[in-house]
A and B are shown apart, each in its own frame.
Chain A
């Protein structure tokens, strides 16, 4: 099993739709979880950290499910500008808690 796994997609959704991505991780001792957004040929940018209690930022909601070892990202009322690749990052639970990156989920929001 890979350390961090994401469905590569692509997810094609119409504007206004709600879309959710999951990211599974293999190390139950991981403590830090993040979602990033990456536009084509640009650097990844932090979208949100994922806390145990879940967190929400506008149309974006991130949740952590420790029992099943996955994090999720929910995007409500999708905009054309949400089209991007969404990467999850999970720490490796080692001494340096190095981040392990998923391959990314591609989202295309269509008019």
Chain B
């Protein structure tokens, strides 16, 4: 399966600031996704990152808060904007090669907001 690298692996940020998380894949992938997982909770899909166009956001998530870029088939970024303590979570990049294929995850970005 593809090797997925996320940066940073963790960060502690002040409220009101923004952080951009990068996801780099070692091969071209069809689909890229961004998830959030809060402590003790399940995976929550934030959005599907679309190559060359605006991301598709899930209910409850908006572009102004979580802008996403995907300039090519191997790279995507997620920005968490104007952060508050409620944004403290693990953010996960995930990729999928086809509609009947499994998803694979990066090792996540652990974000704490003070």
Contact = CB atoms under 8 A, between A and B. Distances in A.
Interface in B2-53: 31, 41-43, 45, 48
Contact of A87 (B43, B100, B108): B43
Interface in A25-46: 31-32, 34, 41-46
User: Secondary structure at chain A's binding surface: helix, strand, loop or mixed?
Assistant: loop
Interface residues on B, range: 20 to 34
Interface of A: 31-32, 34, 41-46, 49, 87, 89, 91, 96-99, 101-104
A89 B90 CA distance: 19
For the complex of A and B, 3 pairs with smallest distance between CB atoms = A43-B105, A97-B99, A103-B42
B43 A101 contact: yes
Given A34-B103, A96-B48, A102-B42, 13 more contacts: A32-B99, A32-B102, A42-B108, A43-B107, A45-B105, A46-B103, A49-B102, A87-B42, A89-B102, A96-B31, A99-B103, A101-B42, A103-B41
Contacts of A43: 92, 105-108
B62 to A, nearest CB: 19
